[in-house]
Amino acid sequence: MQQLTDKQQLTLDFIQRYIAIHTVAPKLQEIAEGIGISSRGVAHRYVQALIDSGFITMDNGKHRGIRLRKPNTYRADSILPLLGKIAAGKPIEAIPGEDQIDLRDFFGHNNFAVRVQGDSMIEAGIMDGDTVIIEFRETANDGDIVVALIDESETTLKRFKRSHKGRYIKLIPANKDMEEMVYEASRVRIQGVLIGQLRKY
């Protein structure tokens, strides 16, 4: 296997990065833009060189047909540097053994996001307008915060708890001005469980 030229290396890096982020291969047009040229033909030449060098393979003719032959070592840029912890009275302290945060935990296609309206979970730090990330699941454990569908018509975000040996389900708000609700188990369907929360300013 011969040495790659600079542009071939750049092309390989781009493809790996693209696949790390999108899990599908880029098309030639995207490769061209990604390495700063405008010709699909030139991009194709680099791709062909990478095939000849054994780094990738290709489903001939298929759109997005490139595949990596080696495991992708590229890290998706869902990663932010984590500088440390901040507390009143001290400079930012580094956190031992942890120097970045990976948001990929939030993804996966079993997850979806929902905008929260209202203050029913305010004491859990979930405010009106926040976005919560939900893993689609039909079951939950006591104490989980869940998206629950009641009587197939009302949806709500509450803390989940069984009672009476599972015959009833409590949905508990985190707001002292609101009261918990109790339903027969058959009236409540879990749509998902809270796994994350985010807010933009």
By annotation, the residues acting in catalysis are 120, 158
CB atoms within 10 A of CB 105: 12
- CA atoms in the 13 A half-sphere facing the CB of 90: 7
Is residue 28 part of the contact set for a copy of itself (CB under 8 A)?
A: no
Site string for DNA, 47-76 (x = CB under 7 A): xx---------x-xxxxxx-----------
CB of 12 to DNA, least distance (A): 12
Report which of 151, 150, 169, 152 is spatially closest to residue 160, judged by C-alpha positions: 169
Residue 70 C-beta: closest distance to DNA, Å: 20
Asked whether the beta carbons of 180 and 123 are under 8 A apart, the reply is: no
37 binds, among a copy of itself, DNA, none (CB under 5 to 8 A by kind): DNA
In sequence order, what DSSP letters do the residues of 31-58 get, joined into one string? HHHHTT---HHHHHHHHHHHHHTTSEEE
Q: Which is nearer to DNA, 58 or 150 (CB)?
A: 58
Candidate list 71, 96, 97, 166; residue touching a copy of itself; CB under 8 A: 71
Amino acid occupying residue 57: T
Binding site for DNA (CB under 7 A): 5-8, 27-29, 32, 35-42, 44-45, 47-48, 58, 60-65
